Amino acid sequence: MPPALPRIARPRRWLLGLYVASALAVTLQQAVLHQSNNFRVFRSATINLLARRDLYAAHPEQHFDYYKYSPTFALLFAPLAYLPFALGFLCWTLLNALLLWYALERLLPQRQATLAIGLLYLEVLFAMQYGQSNALVAALMVLAFVALERGRQLEAAIEVGLGASIKLFPLALLPIVVCHPRRARFGLLFLGVATALVVLPLLAVPVPELVAQYRSWRAIEASDMLNRGYSLMQYLTMALGTEWPNWPVQLAGTALLVAPLALGRARWRDAAFRRLVLCSVLVYVVLFNHQSERATFVIAYTGIVVWCVGSAPSRLKTTILALTLLVMVVHDVEIVPRWVKAEILIPYRIKGIPCVVAWFAMQAELFATALRSESGETALPGTAPELPGA
């Protein structure tokens, strides 16, 4: 074994122990001493689907919120829904945290992956405490990208489809497909996978009831269209004092996201260019999501960390990473007085400021790369350079 590997393996083992120990501690806090409301929402969705009740109606006897994910996710959650509450919560927490760990290991070389996993620890811990699915969504997005890089189109289509059945974020990865050969084949595979996932709940409910569930889902999502959360639309509203609808800003952001791909056709075979697009997408889906919330930022921060540790260092990246870590600590750790959080950090949406800075810096880098005339990274025609662990 090369001498450098033991030096990497030891902190990796410590980090793995920290992640697992944190999952156990959060389970004690959120599933034994208390019962996580988010996890109750997920469990109840499975029960309600199988009982043929409206998933998207209020169920105050079960939880204090509305279910807003797909009927497919309600069915797929069944293996955890019928476990004892604490055991199910522990399995759910470990799935979220360790799948993101695994995804980063597949994406980055060992030393960089270890650094990224360590830098993301606090944000993953915060996501654990919420009992949310955001780390899982981030992991599925990264794994889908890795599968595309290795030519495993069916695997990528399944991971994008599964992620979209939780939150629609992974659909933002689809423009990256243009960088790879056999795009039409992937389109057909994805269409087949998406169709199968949409109709999967027919295993539990008849067609008319499933159609009614999708109508209820559309209605509850439509009721949230005017929200702004921690999105760029919220920052513009706060700065300019205007009440614009969300869609023009989202449309402009989407155009800005895909423009480097359109301009940089010669860079499609450049692995570094493609990975930078991934990082931008991970931040974009939070920054332009009108329902983004504090727990969602594990997705965006994953993009920032991968961008900073997985590419050539610069003062700008170091500054943005430092800002991200500072905000991560002061926003979510109890060393900051509660009044500071209540009166400054939360009202002014400080959590999202690193994402605004990072995303525009990423896009500037993408545009600069796309517009350069020299050829990209060497690769055989129709292939993509392999990632670590291939």
pLDDT value for 293: 86
Could you state, in order of their start, the residue ranges of all structural domains in the chain? 20-371
Residue pLDDT, tens place only, 158-191: 999 999 999 999 999 999 999 999 999 999 999 9
Residue pLDDT, tens place only, 134-148: 999 999 999 999 999
Structure tokens at 32: 């034994």
User: Closest by alpha carbon to 88, among 125, 51, 131, 48?
Assistant: 131
The residue type at 283: V
Mean pLDDT of the chain: 89
Structure tokens at 6: 């033991």
pLDDT value for 8: 56
pLDDT value for 387: 54
Calculated CA dihedral for residues 322, 334, 303, 253, nearest 10 degrees: -100
3-state secondary structure of 275: helix
pLDDT value for 311: 87
Question: What are the residue ranges of helices labelled H in 28-132?
Answer: 37-50, 71-76, 78-81, 85-107, 110-119, 121-130
Residue 48 has pLDDT above 50, yes or no: yes
Residue pLDDT, tens place only, 257-279: 999 999 988 899 999 999 999 99
Residue 377 has pLDDT above 70, yes or no: no
Residue pLDDT, tens place only, 224-254: 777 888 889 998 888 888 778 888 999 999 9
Residue with tokens 């002014």: 348
pLDDT value for 389: 44
pLDDT value for 7: 58
Do the beta carbons of residue 189 and residue 252 sit within 8 Å? no
Residue 326 has pLDDT above 80, yes or no: yes
Do the beta carbons of residue 291 and residue 227 sit within 8 Å? yes
Residue 370 has pLDDT above 80, yes or no: yes
Residue 341 has pLDDT above 90, yes or no: no
Residue 388 has pLDDT above 60, yes or no: no
Phi and psi for 33 in degrees, rounded to 5? Answer: -75, -35
